[in-house]
C-alpha cells in the first residue's frame, strides 16, 4: 500500500511570507496516460476540504495564483508565495491510485 | 449550482448499523464516480471508498478498514449516493463526506458536501 508523508506537520508563518509543504509517497505512481494524480487539499477550520491543486501542478478554478504545486516521482511540494490570513488551516496531499485514494497526514498552517 | 448534501448521521452503539445518504444536484449524477471520505474528530482525512458510474462499470472499491462492513451504492433515479455501515466500531466515529469530480468543458472540478457526523459509542 502507498504511504504518504508530509513535512512539516505544523507550519507557523508570518503574514506576507512564503510557505512550503513537502509531500512524499512511498512509491512512484505514474499512470499509463503519463499523469501522476497527486492533489492538494485545503481544509479551513470548521469547513469541508477544498481541492487546490490537481495532477501535481494544476490550480483549481478560483484558487489564488499564490498557490502552486510541483514535483515528480515520489516528491511533491505545495508553495504559497505570500501567506494571507485566509490561508490558515490544514493542507493535505492525496495520491489517487488504481485501488483508491491515500491522504497524507496533513500540515497545519497557522499565523505566527 | 452543484450541491452535495449528506444526511443520516447520528449516535449508534458498537455493532450497530447506519445508512448515510448524499443527495446530489446541479449535475448529471449518473455520469460521475462518487466517493466517501471520513474524518475522525481532530484527525486527518481518510478515504472510505468509491463507486463508479454505471456506464464505466467495474467493482466498488473500499479502504481496508471498512471492507466487508461498509457498502457503497447509488440510485441514479434519485440522484443519491448511499453508505451502508454495518458492524460499526468506535473507531468509525467521524464526519463522513461525499465528494465527486465533474468535468466542465474539459476542466475537472471537485466538490464536497458539508459532512454528517457519525458517533459510535455505548
Q: In this structure, what DSSP letter does residue B65 have?
A: T
Check if the beta carbon of residue A24 is closer than 8 Å to that of residue A76: yes
Give the CA-trace dihedral at A95, A97, A99, A101, to 10 degrees.
20
How many residues are there in chain B?
Answer: 122
How long a stretch of residues is chain A? 112
A32, pLDDT greater than 80: no
C-alpha cell, A12: 507557523
CB A50 within 8 A of CB A40: no
Q: Is A10 helix (H, G, I), strand (E, B) or coil?
A: strand
A98, A100, A110 from B35: Cα distances, Å? 14, 10, 29
**φ and ψ at B92, to 5 degrees?**
-85, -5
**CB A48 to CB B113 under 8 A?**
yes
Q: C-alpha grid cell for residue B34? A: 462518487
Pairs of CB atoms within 8 A across A/B: 48
| Nearest CB partner across the interface for B44, out of A61, A100, A106 | A106
Cβ burial, residue B1 (10 Å; 0-12/13-18/19+): exposed
Q: What is the pLDDT, as a whole number, of residue A98?
A: 85
Q: pLDDT by residue for chain B (122 residues), tens digit each? A: 999 999 999 999 999 999 999 999 999 999 999 999 999 999 999 999 999 999 998 889 999 999 999 999 999 999 999 999 999 999 999 999 999 999 888 888 999 999 999 999 99
Q: How far is B40 from chain A (nearest CA, A)?
A: 12
Sort out which chain B residues have CB atoms less than 8 A from A48's CB and list them: 97, 112-115
- For the four alpha carbons of A19, A45, B3 and B112, in that order, the dihedral sign comes to positive
| B95: Cβ contacts below 8 Å, ≥ 6 apart | B9, B38, B39, B41, B115, B116, B117, B118
Q: What is the pLDDT of residues A11-23, one digit of tens each?
A: 999 999 999 999 9
Q: What DSSP state is assigned to residue B25?
A: E
Q: In this predicted model, what pLDDT tens digit does every residue of A38-92 receive, in sequence order?
A: 999 999 999 999 999 999 999 999 999 999 999 999 999 999 999 999 999 999 9
Q: Mean pLDDT across chain A, nearest whole number?
A: 95
Query: What kind and span of H or E run contains A65?
Result: none
Amino acid at each position: 500500500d502507498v504511504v504518504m508523508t508530509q513535512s512539516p506537520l505544523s507550519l507557523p508563518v508570518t503574514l506576507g511570507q512564503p510557505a512550503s509543504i513537502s509531500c512524499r509517497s512511498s512509491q512512484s505512481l505514474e499512470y499509463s496516460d503519463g499523469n501522476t494524480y497527486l492533489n492538494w487539499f485545503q481544509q479551513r477550520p470548521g469547513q469541508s476540504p477544498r481541492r487546490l491543486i490537481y495532477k501535481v501542478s494544476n490550480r483549481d478554478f478560483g484558487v489564488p495564483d499564490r498557490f502552486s504545486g510541483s514535483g515528480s516521482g515520489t516528491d511533491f511540494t505545495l508553495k504559497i508565495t505570500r501567506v494571507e490570513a485566509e490561508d490558515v488551516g490544514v493542507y493535505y496531499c492525496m495520491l489517487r491510485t488504481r485501488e483508491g485514494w491515500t491522504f497524507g497526514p496533513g500540515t497545519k498552517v497557522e499565523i505566527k | 449550482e452543484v450541491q452535495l448534501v449528506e444526511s443520516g448521521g447520528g449516535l449508534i452503539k458498537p455493532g450497530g448499523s447506519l445508512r448515510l445518504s448524499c443527495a446530489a444536484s446541479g449535475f448529471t449524477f449518473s455520469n460521475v464516480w462518487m466517493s466517501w471520505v471520513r474524518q475522525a474528530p481532530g484527525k486527518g482525512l481518510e478515504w472510505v471508498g468509491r463507486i463508479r458510474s454505471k456506464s464505466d462499470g467495474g467493482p466498488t472499491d473500499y479502504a481496508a478498514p471498512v471492507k466487508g462492513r461498509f457498502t457503497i451504492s447509488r440510485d441514479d433515479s434519485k440522484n443519491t449516493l448511499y453508505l451502508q455501515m454495518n458492524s460499526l466500531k468506535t473507531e468509525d466515529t467521524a464526519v463522513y463526506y461525499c465528494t465527486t469530480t465533474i468535468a466542465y468543458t474539459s476542466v475537472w472540478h471537485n466538490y464536497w458536501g458539508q459532512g454528517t457526523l457519525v458517533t459510535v459509542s455505548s
